[in-house]
Amino acid sequence: MISDNIKEINNRIKLACKKSGRDPSEITLVCVTKGIDPYRISEVFVHGIKDIGENRVKEALKKKPAVLPGAKWHLIGHLQTNKVKDAIEIFGLMHSVDSLELARKIDKEAKKKEKRVDMLIQVNTSGEESKYGIRPEEVSPFLKEASQLTNVKILGLMTITPLTEDPEKVRPYLRLLKEVFESVGNEAIPNVEMKYLSMGMSQDYGVAVEEGANMIRIGSAIFRE
């Protein structure tokens, strides 16, 4: 079933790329494994998916030793400052940095470990109070401040759209993030690279690709029976 699901996802990605004049090879599919057993996670490796997304540091700590080597781990859930030390040991890319306090804490711990941590800034494009993330108008000043940190590298932006059965309803929020992504990219802020635009999940990844996402986070559409 996982095989069929991934085939369907890849077909939808190709269709979205065709509509928007893009190359499917530009898109990184991050397999979201919240609540999924390690043996099922390893199944996706057969299909060439090596990017694994976890919401919680504790879950990733448990699963990582049991998953086939060679995976790149992505933190896609909210990160508490008291979990930073463990997080920088596990994750190759943190999608959910949403405050300068958190960015500074990551930088501080990375310095101690003599590491560089790659991160994305989470932006709340929908304005929902239940969502983490900085406001779109705060992105540029945030990046200018965070760019002074020496042991982190900002590589793009991430958003989480509202849950809806109609993906067209979230298109404006996706489009807004792409506009911010391009705008701050044109500012050429030192130590900031707009490389990854992480948006789109199981319910709306096709629309996200049409709107410019090059990293999509998919869980239920892969693992559903």
The pTM for the full model equals 0.96
CA nearest neighbour of 74 among 55, 101, 48: 55
Tell me the angle at which helices 100-113 and 139-146 cross, rounded to the nearest 10 degrees.
20
What does the pLDDT profile of the chain (225 residues) look like in tens digits?
A: 899 999 999 999 999 999 999 999 999 999 999 999 988 898 898 899 999 999 999 999 999 988 888 899 999 999 999 999 999 999 999 999 999 999 999 999 999 999 999 999 999 999 999 999 999 999 999 999 999 999 999 999 999 999 999 999 999 999 999 999 999 999 999 999 999 999 999 999 999 999 999 999 999 999 987
Contact call for residues 87 and 67 (beta carbons, < 8 A)? no
217 secondary structure, DSSP code:
E
Domains in the chain: ranges and CATH? 2-223 (3.20.20.10)
CA nearest neighbour of 223 among 13, 60, 11, 35: 35
